[in-house]
Amino acid sequence: MKNTQLDMNRLAAMDAAQAARLLHLVREETLAGRTPPIAPRPVIDASWRRMFRLGLDPDQGTSSVLLKREELEERRRSTVLGEVMRTLSTGLAGIADASMQIMVVTDDQGRVLWREGNLAVLRQANGICLEEGAAWSEHTTGTNAVGTALATRRAVQVHSAEHYVHTLHTWTCAAAPVHDPRDQRLLGIVDVSGPASSFHPATLALVGSVARLAEAEMRQRHLRSIERLRSVAAPILCRVGGRAVAVDTHGWTAAVTGMAPVDRIALPTSFRAGRVWLPALGMCAVEPLPGGWLLRVEAGRTAADDTAAAPSRVVLDLSRPRRWSVTVSGAAGSWSRELSPRHAELLFVLALHPGGRTAAELAQDVFGDRTRTVTVRAEMSRVRRTLAGVLAHRPYRFGEEVEVEVVRPPRSEDLLPHSTAPAISAARVPGPPGTPGPAGE
């Protein structure tokens, strides 16, 4: 048999027992370090390699410590996914029930927040700990649709023995990430799972379509909230002298006076009324508005003032799992913000290269493909809007006057562990535990 590559349509065309035998053989040969008769799909092969690096036992169980009821309810209340659960349920739960499957919705850490669907399958799911409050990241449960979609940030289907952990070989699942359309932050995963006999390759397209539908609903909700904020802020801005802008709680602009309009102003992770320094505006007086904030830019500033207030230090903290952040500080104050995985990758690479990187070089660093410059430029445009005054371009780099420190996790293998970027993989070299100093030391 030629060492061709598996695909979902090929599996669907096989007898179920034949497909299961083939997948088990592929997994057995691959895990033993031998060449299988048919190569696993790239997304599965990459996930299995991550499991090798983590040292995950393929014979372990899938149980995890469930969230306490209070924490589960708090996570449900704090996620925007709760606003679109009706859309997700209408699009998937009924179909899942009819096809002997269940719909599962997790947060951005892979914790199950909600599940619906066929009652018999729900009871079976309890046996593999696919229940509310359980952890389904790759770190916890190995290769599975929820965890692998979290790791790759794209829709994925995992069938039978493509699961790394043996316990899941009688299951099939398809999952897609759901992003906040306001800032592209990953909110969580929507998944359809069931017995392996319920496998169908079209399930992946269905789950992906419903995820996009939920994102479209969130986008419309956001536009309506901006309009409401604008109606409140417009008469206030008419009476404000100097520069001022009304933004929602995520920094999206609703109305502006005395300055050029911008789509969004990056706000720090912790934001409150008072006198606050922002990289994009300088020192501002912040006042609450219904659904947002009024930012009054401090009047009477000179070029010398702006130069003195320019950021002088950046701390890129990658030490906490999935809570990566950047802190910018200078004479005028400090500012912190959480980072998406992609932005964490880009900033880490730039910290490694003080002389800067071209778009092609960053494309190679992050994607292993120098031709993906359009994607890099789009992402760097977003990063530079967030870190105004810190990042330069042509080539992309941190400003020469800015001191950059990278805080890494204690174990080198925990550096952005789900990242497949070549530059990140190369940086995961064994070293002494602890926190290194400034980048490049």
- Mean of pLDDT values over 3-30: 78
Residue 437 lies in a domain: no
Residue 3 lies in a domain: no
- Mean of pLDDT values over 264-282: 81
Residue 76 lies in a domain: yes
In this predicted structure, the answer to whether residue 159 has a pLDDT above a threshold of 50 is yes
In this predicted structure, the answer to whether residue 439 has a pLDDT above a threshold of 70 is no
pLDDT above 70 as % of the chain: 91
Instruction: Identify the domain boundary among 305, 333, 359.
Output: 305
Q: Please tell me the predicted confidence (pLDDT) of residue 440.
A: 41
Digit-coded pLDDT (tens) for 409-419: 988 888 988 78
Q: Please tell me the predicted confidence (pLDDT) of residue 278.
A: 82
Residue 355 lies in a domain: yes
Residue 234 lies in a domain: no
**Residue 5 or residue 238, greater confidence:** 238
Considering the domain architecture, whether residues 318 and 404 belong to the same structural domain is answered as yes
- Give the separation between CA 113 and CA 238, rounded to whole angstroms: 44
Q: Please tell me the predicted confidence (pLDDT) of residue 304.
A: 44
Considering the domain architecture, whether residues 91 and 46 belong to the same structural domain is answered as yes
In the chain, the number of structural domains is 3
In this predicted structure, the answer to whether residue 332 has a pLDDT above a threshold of 90 is no
Residue 131 lies in a domain: yes
Q: Read off the CATH number of the domain in which 147 is found.
A: 3.30.450.40
Q: Please tell me the predicted confidence (pLDDT) of residue 433.
A: 38
Encode the chain in three state secondary structure. Answer: CCCCECCHHHHHHCCHHHHHHHHHHHHHHHHCCCCCCCECCHHHHHHHHHHHHHCCCCCCCCCCCCCCHHHHHHHHHHCHHHHHHHHHHHHHHHHHHHCCCEEEEEECCCEEEEEEECHHHHHHHHHCCCCCCCECCHHHHCCCHHHHHHHHCCCEEEEHHHCCCHHHCCEEEEEEEEECCCCCCEEEEEEEEEEHHHCCCHHHHHHHHHHHHHHHHHHHHHHHHHHHHHHHHHHHHHCCCCCEEEEECCCEEEEEECCCCCCECCCCCCCCCEEEEECCCEEEEEEEECCEEEEEECCCCCHHHHHHCCEEEEEEECCCCCCCEEEEEECCEEEEEECCHHHHHHHHHHHHCCCCECHHHHHHHHHCCCCCHHHHHHHHHHHHHHCCCCEECCCEEECCCCEEEEECCCCHHHCCCCCCCHHHHHHCCCCCCCCCCECCC
Considering the domain architecture, whether residues 70 and 112 belong to the same structural domain is answered as yes
Band (pLDDT 50/70/90 cuts) for residue 82 is very high
Considering the domain architecture, whether residues 247 and 187 belong to the same structural domain is answered as no
Host domain of residue 214: 8-219
Considering the domain architecture, whether residues 13 and 103 belong to the same structural domain is answered as yes
Band (pLDDT 50/70/90 cuts) for residue 333 is low
Considering the domain architecture, whether residues 261 and 388 belong to the same structural domain is answered as no
- Give the separation between CA 113 and CA 215, rounded to whole angstroms: 18
Least confidently predicted of 27-31, 119-123, 305-309: 305-309
Q: Please tell me the predicted confidence (pLDDT) of residue 430.
A: 57
Q: Please tell me the predicted confidence (pLDDT) of residue 429.
A: 66
Q: Please tell me the predicted confidence (pLDDT) of residue 3.
A: 52
Considering the domain architecture, whether residues 163 and 20 belong to the same structural domain is answered as yes
What is the radius of gyration, based on Cα positions, of the chain? 24
- Mean of pLDDT values over 163-189: 93
Instruction: Identify the domain boundary among 264, 284, 305.
Output: 305
Mean pLDDT, rounded, of the chain: 87
Q: Please tell me the predicted confidence (pLDDT) of residue 300.
A: 59
Q: Read off the CATH number of the domain in which 315 is found.
A: 1.10.10
Digit-coded pLDDT (tens) for 344-363: 999 999 999 999 999 999 99
Q: Please tell me the predicted confidence (pLDDT) of residue 402.
A: 85
Considering the domain architecture, whether residues 121 and 49 belong to the same structural domain is answered as yes
The closest of 378, 383, 369, 311 to 341, measured between CA atoms, is: 383
Instruction: Identify the domain boundary among 305, 320, 343.
Output: 305
Considering the domain architecture, whether residues 83 and 147 belong to the same structural domain is answered as yes
pLDDT above 90 as % of the chain: 60
Considering the domain architecture, whether residues 360 and 301 belong to the same structural domain is answered as no
Q: Please tell me the predicted confidence (pLDDT) of residue 59.
A: 92
**Residue 392 or residue 344, greater confidence:** 344
pTM above 0.85, yes or no: no
Residue 434 lies in a domain: no
Least confidently predicted of 44-53, 181-190, 232-241, 430-439: 430-439
Band (pLDDT 50/70/90 cuts) for residue 301 is low
Considering the domain architecture, whether residues 159 and 273 belong to the same structural domain is answered as no
Digit-coded pLDDT (tens) for 234-264: 999 998 888 999 999 888 999 999 988 888 8
Residue 432 lies in a domain: no
Digit-coded pLDDT (tens) for 63-77: 999 999 999 999 999
Considering the domain architecture, whether residues 214 and 255 belong to the same structural domain is answered as no
